[in-house]
Chains A and B, each alone.
Chain A
């Protein structure tokens, strides 16, 4: 690990100003991802500004019925929050499907959104990687691609986003509030993460120094009828091969509205708008579910080791929808 300076932020404005003016400064939240990367040599910041005690660590109900989650709320605490468990079960499930208890006790809401890919080549500093070192090439393209993307990838990067929580937030139309060098702004989580394109080193649309301060969940009544399923290589402590976050609003046998996002398939949590469109107003049948999944996955382009992800994603989505639509009431 390279030597670095550490500062504990005293207020948001100072923290943003400090990081913004130093291209080699980074925010430190729970440190569960960044510190690993510093040890591996993937990241070598010269200044860490600790914001873990700065942002709000509370979950509060908003006047419009939505819920505001402070950026410093730990994953364990958010998953245990009664309002989340009751009104947004998909989020609680996704949080609990991630990492380990020890990591969840440290990891923050803001930090979880910004965690970086688990691509083995990104983590191995002896191999070329466009995300780590732009312009060096993508080692995964001709390499080991079992965990890599099938949707929205580019010739420059086929990595996937590792977060479970972000998949649930994407499905829920959550909105991120930030404070940046150009002032505050709000960004839908679905627009926060980028596809790799020709700039795979940029995971998100955030500017350097822009700090996530809170995440808002809209009221979204159908979220009470939501679920998260994660398919992985062992029963716990593993990243997703495929995951699905979904919420449905069903009347009789008809799907009135639906929210779906996939994890494990793309460089970002993948909001499945094509599948949602196919499902809105359609009968809740196995055939509809499959048609919807196929609509979303029609453009999927597998790599050498991950063709299985496409049918696996279809089966996962189908089973989640089956489960949600067969539930008693909401």
Chain B
């Protein structure tokens, strides 16, 4: 096997077309991005535009006594200064619970909350005017401890209804079950940033109809449109949005940031207004991954078979709800991991505090418990003197078995196979003591060791992640496909609102259209709100959902075309197919060219694709016949070298086996897995937003560390395709699982190298080092 090429099962698709499904055509944005020529939303420009800035709260909790904007308004060059009193519609928004003000009115609930807006003819003028806004705050004691917030009724209430966003238990089997071997642990996870490179930015242009056109970077145009229109007091059709170049997302662009603000300024001034956050503001301007404290107890029989799992999970949602309810749902439903457990008692709490708001991030709600349950499986293996992979395989869930909610997995769930495969991947070479390149050692270029005091460890991690929206959400995507002859050749145009956030969904849409219509020339229309919803580029769902919509729309276009051919040539519809721009009959061969059938006509069809229905969780026991649409699995093996004198970790290898159902674009699949693995590595050994007294202490990429190329090893990526019969082409979401299973694998490897009982990520030198006496 080639080390870095994905292993793939045979394809059953017609692959006659170049650049179709299963190939890896060049992505249209790739070369531009590499050359630095790609236009990101922060590059947007309009003649005569103004610049908008945001005044943010310096306090994590305070009452606003008054806001005086007169000084700012007097500043030459300033066109508008807006506060909560200027919000035209509802001064509230939110992804799930509508609980977050567009601009704070009576209270601020976190440091960095938006309080006022300024538009001026120069960004520096706007910033200076911002300093002249006088806000009189009555500073209050912040709530910062999530676990206390869940139970302590004496704490101040962050919101009028209290500090609990969601409590969800899952009860299955015997709550009092006992077992021969019991292991327990408490695990904590710091706040992780999505660390996308393109800061929040957009350009709003007021329109003659009283509406506004917003060009922006986002993950979900229609979600932004609905929330923004509501806050602006406008009908949705007057708030039009167009996707501009997105510099990464990872969940951090699901919540609103600049959207309402920049539109308010444009509508008030009657001029185009641009907003761009700087890096520090970006840290305060988007949600982060929920920090968590997790108490786990696992019971197993003498053969290592799990008898029960009991857990309490606390998720710090920060000041506003955002995706906290979903984090609690995912965290509890997936809280035992990809294992069969007869008796389960898991409780999850998502709470409000005065910490920065937390919400969507890659691996939503599944990253946190994976750190804990995988550490627990290793503890169990040790207690039983079993191999850590064997104990996982013994308990691995498979097709036909059910997760803790009772949902039966009616599709392949090759957890044991993934573990076997990742274990069988070639190991990296041992260090032989002659290695001279210190960049390969812990500390890298820092010259900290030449190999002395360095110990190697190996660790495994495997995970389960739900794909698409869950718990009864109406999840769908829309595609409009147009087929016509252009310059004598058939050409297709695909129009969806699916946000290209770097994952490659534009290319995927082209590939599907090529394969379905037998047409090589496929253009993807700019993504905007002129077409129906696509839903968010999150939950690993766009290839499944928008891919499904494009497939369905293509099928409708093809039907119209072939109906006409069947009639004209007297062929049976079922005998006809499209290939290479031609129409082919199974009985008589090539009949004609697509362009000849089309003539001057345009065939256009718009279709929605809905996945199977899901259902809510029972409030008392968490049960649900189908809480989630689909589950995806990945397994990692990490090999680390640890300098135990200084506590430095070098991840030597981080290899992954993952089932992707169907690799629509194998190169993009490998890229997703490598990127996800690197993000999980970052969480394992360095990434943490340091929050103290409600404030972010490291809001920069100098102080918030993400892995560099020196910290990231080459990765062997082993892709298998066990198609899901319920999904288009059998696809299974790819993006999130590798972010989840990589972290526990790295931490397990560090434990193996050091013998330390590591319970917090990120692992820091002081957790690892052997300081002697």
Contacts and interface: CB of A to CB of B under 8 A. Distances in A.
Contact of A229 (B446, B685, B705, B764): B446
Contact of B646 (A1, A93, A236, A316): A316
A255 interface: no
Contacts of B707: 234
A1 B124 contact: yes
B128 to A, nearest CB: 8
Contacts of A241: 765
Contact of B710 (A120, A233, A235, A311): A235
A205 interface: no
Interface residues of A, number: 36
Contacts of B693: 143
Contact of A234 (B449, B646, B708, B766): B708
Contacts of B650: 235
A315 B645 contact: yes
Given A96-B445, A227-B447, A231-B646, A311 B771 contact: yes
B447 A236 contact: no
B589 interface: no
B690 A312 contact: no
Given A235-B708, A319-B452, A230 B447 contact: yes
A229 B703 CA distance: 20
Interface string B743-773: 0000000000000000000001110010110
A228 B446 CA distance: 8
Nearest to A120: B697
B705 A230 contact: no
Given A120-B703, A124-B695, A231-B765, A236 B445 contact: yes
Interface size class, chain B: 35 or more
Given A120-B698, A319-B645, A235 B445 contact: yes
A144 B448 contact: no
A182 interface: no
A284 B124 CA distance: 59
Interface string A232-259: 1111111101000000000000000000
A126 interface: yes
Interface string B279-319: 01000000000000000000000000000000000000000
A242 B58 CA distance: 32
Contact of B444 (A40, A235, A311, A316): A235
Interface string B701-732: 01101011011000000000000000000000
A308 B766 contact: yes
Contacts of A1: 124
A96 B439 CA distance: 13
B512 interface: no
Interface string B626-656: 0000000000000000000111101000000
Contact of B769 (A235, A315, A322): A315
A326 to B, nearest CB: 10
A68 B548 CA distance: 69
B708 A323 contact: no
A322 to B, nearest CB: 8
Interface in B665-706: 685-686, 690, 692-693, 695, 697-698, 702-703, 705
Interface in B441-481: 443-450, 452-453
Contacts of B444: 234-236
Given A120-B703, A231-B646, A319 B769 contact: no
B647 A312 contact: yes
A138 B251 CA distance: 36
B448 A312 contact: no
A308 B646 CA distance: 10
A202 B697 CA distance: 24
A238 B449 CA distance: 17
A234 B765 CA distance: 10
Contact of B686 (A40, A234, A318): A234
A144 B705 CA distance: 16
A126 B58 contact: yes
A235 B711 CA distance: 6
Given A96-B445, A124-B695, 10 more contacts: A120-B703, A144-B690, A230-B447, A231-B648, A233-B765, A234-B444, A234-B705, A235-B439, A318-B645, A319-B453
7 contacts: A97-B446, A120-B697, A236-B710, A237-B708, A311-B772, A316-B646, A323-B450
Q: Which 5 A-B pairs have the closest CB atoms?
A: A235-B444, A308-B766, A311-B771, A235-B710, A230-B446
